[in-house]
Structure formats: C-alpha cells, structure tokens
Chains A and B, each alone.
Chain A
C-alpha cells in the first residue's frame, strides 16, 4: 500500500474541522472519514496481481548512446489499472524515465518505452517492475513488485574507430608496393603492371617485358590469411585506472582497432580474454561480422581480482591457433614480477609465434618526473623514475627475447599497435 500527496492534503484539510470544533468526537470523526476514504480507494484500485508484463529485449547499444526498453502491460483484471509503473533498471543503465504513468483499462494492454542512456559497459540488468495502482480517488494505492528480469548489453565504445581510415589506407598502400621495399620471407607475388617512373628497376620482370613492347614490373602483395591472436589480460592488473579508463578498456580499444584492421588485411583474427581461465573468446571463424562478435565478447568483461596464470597462456594460444601466428598480449609491463610471469610466457610463445606485447604507460608518471620543486616532488620523481626504469628493463628484456613491445599512453596505444601490425605485415614477419 502507498498513499499519495492527495491523502496528505486531505489530512491537512482535516485540521480545519478539528480546530473549528475542538474535542475528541471531532478528531475521531475526521479520523474515521479519512480511514474510510483510504480503505475505499485501496479496495477500488485495480489489482496489480492480475497484470502481465512482457519485456522486449532491448537491442545492443554502445556506451553513451540511447537505447529503448519496451514493456507491454496486459491488464487481466476486471478493473481499470491506473497509477504508476517503475522499471527497476540499475542506476548505471541511466533510465531517463523509469517511473511512468499508466492507464490500462480492463482486458487491454499498453506499451511503454523507457529511455536508457547507459554510462557503463557490460550487461546492465533490471530485476523487476513495480506497479502502484491508485483507486478512483487517487488517495491510496496498492503496490506490487513483479519479477520481470531484463538486460541490456552495452558494448565497448570503440573510440579508436577514428584511426581506422588512415590505418586502412596505410594497409592498402602495402598492396602493390614495389617488392624491393618490402622484400621478405612472406611476401607473395601479386601481379604484373606497366613500369612507371619511380619503380625500382630491380623489380622489372624481364621475361614479361620481352613478351610485350612495354617494360613490365612485378608487384607484390603482403602475405594474407595469416593468423592474429589477441590475448586480453583480465587479471588484477587490468583494474588499474590510467587517465579516464582502466587498462582493460584501453586494451579493448586497441584490440578492436587491430582486429578490424587485421581482418581487412585478410588475416584471421582471434580474441581470447584470459586470467586464470578464458573469460571470452571470439574470432573470424564464426558467423556475422567480426567487429560485432568482438564487441559482443568484450562487453561483459570486467577486471578480475586474481593473478594472471602466465604458464597456462601458451597452451591457450595453441588451442586457438596451432600454427605460427601473430600473438598480441594486451597486458601491463609493471606487474608484480614480470620475470616470473610475462617474460617466460612471452619467450615460450616467441619460440613459435611472432609476439607483440602492448602495454599502457601512465602519463601521470611523466608528470611526476618533471615536478621537482621540493623534497616531496623529488621523491615522487624518484619513485616515478624507478617505475619507468623497471618498465624499461622489462621492455629491454622482452626485446632481447625477440618480442616486440608497444608501450604507449592510453589514447596512443590503439594506433601504435596498429602501426606495429602494419610494420610486421610489411616486413613479412607474420
């Protein structure tokens, strides 16, 4: 049961007779009238027990975009259902109008739309719908909560999409480049075309030239149908916030850009989110477009407060791709003991695959390094220096073992990782 503002106004109005005719009889009479009004209204209210709620699953939405959750309410009772409805979306779903007025005559149904502006990635939920059915006087209501679970999948925003056109252009430029610039183990013969000024004379195909009157050069295209395995670290270190987002979110941005780019580059892409077990997996093998599958797989990921199981990682990669691949580890360089975790795992992977470690560098460290105005500042600079030195040491160690390292600030990581991919592809090292 619930009362309305009207009831409060009535009670306040009841003060008038009580003051005009003071005495206990008046008080009792006014109280009785109020009680009767209250009970009548509750009894005459439409019963929310006989309401059926159908929820249409809202479509996926990317972060900070609007979605619409649609509810269909069917009144199976024999009285009109008049009052309010509240859809219990969790706060981060950003329901704009969770409480709505409803008026459903007996035996009819109505459709309601609740606007959602989610502020967090992942699966956002609503467990129930609450009805408040007022009587004809609008004084009191019956209230009932009906379990009606619904969820909205909020996809990662893919802000790094804006880098995609320029990186794709770079990738296309690889096609048809003169062989000499990219001569390497994996380059494949593409086609013959007429010589234009500027082409390397060494790429002239003399045999073809002899057959024709014009000079013909061979063109090469980058290797295709290679495999790219992206490993997203969801262990405790991925919970670290750098700038406005966690390492995990930055890693997702980088993985999405790389995934889309690699797919356009003709490679097979696989994503594994892993800490001690596989949290998500997606790849080119499935149906539909790759980007959709990647964001679907990433959407519910959250940093787990457990340590990464590095020794198990090579086996996971092997399960995804038994052949030589480009393995991209989206992790961090400043974990607790990289020489026990990341380094041996990367070394083992590097013996079979081409390995890139992509890590986010905290721009705050650079700021700390420059503020040397007093003793506190200098100690902070020393601590930042130490953190950077450790990273540098791990980076050097990784490079020594043949692992490429992309160490960049959050907004720089996706394009830098894409550049690394293009570079490796151009060099035929995939």
Chain B
C-alpha cells in the first residue's frame, strides 16, 4: 500500500513539501488530502455543493412532518382532532393513543371508553370482538357496513343527512344529546337501530345511535369531533360528553398494519383447472423454439466496406451558415458584387481585366440606362439583412436583364 502511495505521489511530484513528509515518501493523510483539494479546487467545490444539496434534500425528506391522519389527536389540521384531545386532557381525561391493535388492547381497562374510527374498515370480526370485550364503552365514528355487522349491536347504516339539514336538533332523551343541543349535520351519515338522536326530517335514523345496552355509541359525523367545526353549535358539548364521561379514553385509529395476517378465501390458482398451470410455461417453450428457429443466423455476418462519400457542396453550405451566424452582411455583399461583376464582364465580352466601372458602363450601355444609377445599385453597402435581401434580388434582376439583352 505504501509503495503504491509513494508511486502515485512520485507521479504528482509538484509540491516540494510532499516529498519531505516522510522517510518513505508517503505523506501524512491530512497533508495528502489538503494537497488533493488544492490540486482539484473546482472538483472539490463541485463535490461540496453536491454534498450540501444532497444533505438538504435528504434532510427535508426525513424531517418529521405534521400528522395528517384524519381525527388524529396530534393532527392540528381542519380534519384532525387535536383540539378535542387537548380539551379532554385539560379536564383530567387520560387520552391514550395506541398505534396498533395490540397497544389498544393493552391500555384498555375496566371503565375505559374506546373511540374507534376505522375509516378503511381494516378490522375484522375477531379483532372487533376482542376490543369490545376489553372496552366498557365504545364510541364508533362513521363505521362501515362490515364494522357494524361485526359489532352486532343492532345498529345499521341508513344513508346520509340530506343537504337541507345543516344543523340537527337532538330530539331524543339521551342526556348527552339533550345537553349539547344542535350539532352540525352537513356531510354526515345517519344510522338506524337502538336509540337514535339527531334525526333529520323526522326519519327513524339519526346521526347519533346508541345500542340498547348503551355500550356502543355510533356517531355518524367526523365534523362533530374535528378541529374545524368543534366550536360550532353544540359539537364540542356532544363530543366532550360522549368521550369525557370516563377518566380513561383510548383513542384508537386502526391502520393498514392492523389487517389480520391470514389471507383466507380461495386464490385464482385454486380455481383454475389443472392444465392452466402448464399452459404458460409450455407456450414459453414454444416461443423459445421459435426464437431458436428464426434467430439462428445462416452463417456469419459479411462485411460491407462502405466507401467514403462527402457531399461536395457541404463546404459552401458550411460557409453560408457561418455567414448567417455572424451576420456577415459586408462579406456577403462583397461576394455577391464580385460574382455579379465577373459574370457581367464575361457576358458583355469584356476581358478578365475589366474594372468594375468599365463593366458597369458597358452594362448601362447595353441596357440603355444611366450608368450612375446602376453604379449606385452595384456599389451600395446594405446595412441590414432585409436590405441585403432586397439588394441581392435587385442585382439578380440586373444580371438577368443584361443577359437577356
């Protein structure tokens, strides 16, 4: 290793300090590092910038973001329930927020209230039964059909609150509802069965439903609990009364991680006939055979030595592009003028030594026009490209006139 280092150092050999850094010629690592940075300043600066950008990107990606789970007690957004959680804690309620089913089961004690908001319906029957066994009271927020069925409380889904009812009257004998008064009804679901309160338009189903034994309360609205509308109508009163009645509250929001592991049911494989297993692989074998049939080349490739062929006009076109890019108006004008005069001298029968003035005079004589006018045209210096185009066309016309005479 030392040998390699000293060799490479010998190659670099520009800094005299490096040569004397050690008896074997191997400099101290720090010195070498500084030396490298000095030699590759641009590279080092670039690397530093890239590293900083990378760190920034990773940092922003990894930085803890605000909780955005709906009805989470740590979510301060409109659909969160941080306000409610804070109020309950201020009033001495112990709010537990387990993340997993096991955690919820562990913290549930005698006399606890469980708030269950399973918006994706991830919990299955046995899991819900386990929760029901441990919890004293369960407040279920907008449960889905499978959750309700599994709870087996006699409460059923009964549609949504019509838009005509932005607020709902209690209209029942439940003390919580009576005390709270009106609550927000917009965008809520109604449930039927047990004792129902907040019934829109005198139907049997209501926003709040309690089972016959009073253990299960179904709330058909997240707005009643959410930060956004907690201070409207009697939302806060209803929510606090529902959840603050016991000293212990377990606030459990099931996630996809709580999905029961056992798949259950029959897969497509079980349903397919026996031969289907062999169909695909055998077709692959057929495809492989077809590839071998068509893909085998009939002998090695044969060389075709290609000759060099260049478009001869390419140089002129390249020069034209150079003129265009640099807006070489003067150069273009000189070329066009010289070409015109040469050809005119030829077609007018003047010798190769004819001067511009002689050529112009001869052309004017042939055309029967004033030599001064033609000289003014031929000797003009166009200043803009537009003028150059017009001028060159005028020259072309002049040449045609002379040659047709």
Could you list which residues of chain A lie within 8 angstroms of chain B, going by C-beta atoms?
A: 2-5, 7-8, 11-12, 14-15, 18-20, 22-23, 27, 84, 86, 88-92, 99, 120, 126-130, 132, 143, 145, 239-242, 246-247, 302-303, 305, 334, 360, 362, 364-365, 368-370, 372-389, 392, 396
Contacts and interface: CB of A to CB of B under 8 A. Distances in A.
A303 B307 CA distance: 8
Nearest to B322: A383
14 contacts: A3-B292, A8-B290, A14-B282, A22-B274, A90-B305, A99-B298, A120-B307, A239-B309, A364-B316, A372-B389, A378-B389, A379-B323, A382-B333, A383-B316
Contacts of A3: 289, 292-293, 296
Given A3-B296, A132-B298, A383-B317, 7 more contacts: A14-B282, A129-B299, A242-B313, A247-B312, A362-B316, A382-B336, A385-B335
Q: Which of A99, A242, A380, A396 neighbours the largest number of chain B CB atoms within 10 Å of its CB?
A: A380
> Which 6 pairs show the lowest CB-CB distances between chains A and B?
A130-B299, A240-B312, A382-B332, A385-B339, A383-B320, A22-B275
Contacts of A362: 312-313, 316
Contact of A372 (B298, B316, B319, B393): B393
Q: Which of A27, A88, A241, A379 neighbours the largest number of chain B CB atoms within 10 Å of its CB?
A: A379
B11 interface: no
Nearest to B309: A241
A89 to B, nearest CB: 7
A379 B304 contact: no
Given A8-B293, A382-B320, A86 B335 contact: no
B388 interface: yes
Contacts of B319: 383, 386-387
B1 interface: no
Contacts of A4: 293
Nearest to A377: B389
A247 B312 CA distance: 9
Interface of B: 273-275, 277-279, 282-283, 285-286, 289-290, 292-293, 296, 298-300, 302-305, 307-313, 315-317, 319-321, 323-324, 328, 331-333, 335-336, 338-339, 342, 352, 385-386, 388-389, 392-393, 396
A44 B386 CA distance: 82
A381 B336 contact: yes
Given A362-B312, A385-B339, A88 B300 contact: yes
A386 B302 contact: no
B310 A239 contact: yes
Nearest to B277: A22
Given A7-B289, A90-B304, A91-B304, A241 B311 contact: yes
A121 B148 CA distance: 88
A387 B396 contact: no
A212 to B, nearest CB: 48
B324 A386 contact: no
A91 B306 CA distance: 11
Contacts of B305: 90
B401 to A, nearest CB: 15
Nearest to B326: A379
B344 to A, nearest CB: 13
Contact of B282 (A15, A130, A132, A376): A15
A7 B352 CA distance: 81
A12 B282 CA distance: 8
Given A132-B298, A372-B393, A378-B389, A384 B316 contact: yes
Given A241-B312, A385-B335, A385-B338, A18 B302 contact: no
Nearest to A374: B389
Contacts of B324: 375-376, 379
Given A11-B285, A379-B332, A396-B352, A303 B320 contact: no
A302 B339 CA distance: 35
A2 B297 CA distance: 9
A137 to B, nearest CB: 15
B299 A145 contact: yes
Given A3-B296, A372-B392, A380-B320, A27 B278 contact: yes
Contacts of A379: 320-321, 323-324, 328, 332
A88 B299 contact: yes
B300 A387 contact: no
A383 to B, nearest CB: 4
A372 B394 CA distance: 10
Q: Which of B283, B323, B386 neighbours the largest number of chain A CB atoms within 10 Å of its CB?
A: B323
Contacts of A127: 302-303
Nearest to A123: B305
Contacts of A14: 282
A185 B302 CA distance: 58
Nearest to B291: A8
Contact of A8 (B289, B331, B342): B289
A382 B331 contact: yes
Contacts of B333: 382
B31 to A, nearest CB: 52
Contacts of A23: 274
